[in-house]
Amino acid sequence: MTEINSTAAGLSSAEAIRLQQQYGRNELIPQKKEGFINKVFHIICEPMFLLLIAAAVIYFILGEPRDGAIMLIFVLGIISIDVIQEWKTDKTLKALKDLSAPQITVIRDGRETTIASTELVPGDVMLIHEGIKIPADGLVLKCSDLCVDESTLTGEAECVWKLSRENAEPSADYWRKDYCYAGTLVTQGSGLILVDKIGAQTEYGKIGTSVAAAPAEPTPLQKQTGKLVKTCAGIAGILFALVGLVTYLNIPDHKLGDRLIESILSGITLAMAMIPEEFPVILTVFLSMGAWRLAKKKSLVRKLPSVETLGSISVLCVDKTGTITMNQMTVQETWALDGDEHSLIETMGLGCETDAYDPMEKAMLEHCERHGLSKEQLFDGKLVYEYAFTNELKMMGHVWDRNDRLVIAAKGSPERILTLCDLSDTDSENVSQKLEELSKEGLRVIAVAAAELASEDSIPSNLTA
């Protein structure tokens, strides 16, 4: 851990400036912007473009300026397509980056201040809460029911409950419960985090560094076109030599200078037939069409040859979460003890946060909408009281005043929710059987319950009261 003298009171502005000079900005590896001339130069250096330029030069030498100009127009057209495609993709990515530029609240000079996350330094104390994407690695100083989605790093869809460093037990696990990581999302609770690592030193940054350090290898398409160009050039060279020699021998009555010029021109003319001038144009057009189709499916293509590379994949090794699966929870089945599915779904929605970040609550609210209960309909009443979810109770609840009715809606683990319900032996047995049945199907079971209150004076201080 970085040795930084900081407490829950945070840093002073002077210390923050000094530490930023020492550690730099909280950024991943900055992208070096490639100039227009460099982009054009890299495109021209492709074998197919060199072939077209060579063909244009030869046409001019042979006294065919019109054909040479057509070749150059082809070159300019293809370069334009490549540059425009890359420019549009870069523009979109930059817009997305600017749109997602986050801010974070820190304690500096003894008071809460909102700064750009790029200005974070080791030793800062940042305040995180539900919905915040954590911008740096750090130790948990204090937390209240802090739950974090770490699937971007670990691939695990289940959120992790965090503990303060005083309450955490020593563990040999790489991913710590008293530590928060950059790039992860707070789904519930709040916390006070002492920044330890920023930028490329974070676990998230190490991934970016590894990706940036990967060697740039030519794509299969570039290898194939390079091989084709060499083959065509080799055959053209042989034809040039043979035709030139045959022509030289067939015109013995010409002067030596005229024989040489005639032989060279004849050899070049036949060799030109071996140059596939149309191939680069057709290839670029079809790759551009592929990139356009991918863009319609919300996939950005920066380099056109990657379209062909993607189509050449025979085996794709990926992490399951978020790739083969969608990293999204969905409600698969509902069951009501009294058979009233509509009331069950309504209670489930009322038990969720009005602005949900937890994947499970999002899935529940989406299920409500699919059954005709929008957020506006669910939350059209007054939220009177809230019972926060805790890792110990494993349940939460809301008290709503809706249509002159005071209703408690609670949800959580079945074991805890059932302790709040007054069920007969028969009902308890039915519930237990259904729980076992759903669990055997591999489903995550959440129980919901509701009760009406006579007045606000009768609202219990906690769910177990």
Q: Which of 109, 258, 319, 340 is an active site residue?
A: 319
What span, in angstroms and rounded, lies between the C-alpha atoms of 292 and 296?
Answer: 6
What span, in angstroms and rounded, lies between the C-alpha atoms of 287 and 39?
Answer: 18
Q: Active site includes 319?
A: yes
| 195 contact partners, CB below 8 Å, separation of at least 6 | 120, 121, 122, 123, 124, 125, 126, 136, 137, 138
Task: Tokens 């999002």: give the residue.
Answer: 362
Q: Can you name the residues that pair with 405 across neighbouring β-strands?
A: 402
What span, in angstroms and rounded, lies between the C-alpha atoms of 148 and 177?
Answer: 10
Q: Beta-carbon neighbour count of residue 93 at 10 Å?
A: 13
| 213 contact partners, CB below 8 Å, separation of at least 6 | none
What span, in angstroms and rounded, lies between the C-alpha atoms of 229 and 54?
Answer: 12
What span, in angstroms and rounded, lies between the C-alpha atoms of 461 and 286?
Answer: 67
| 127 contact partners, CB below 8 Å, separation of at least 6 | 104, 105, 106, 107, 112, 190, 191, 192, 193
Q: Where in 31-76 does DSSP place strands (E)?
A: none
Count each helix (H run) and each strand (E run) in the chain, helices first: 15, 11
Name the residues annotated as catalytic. Answer: 319
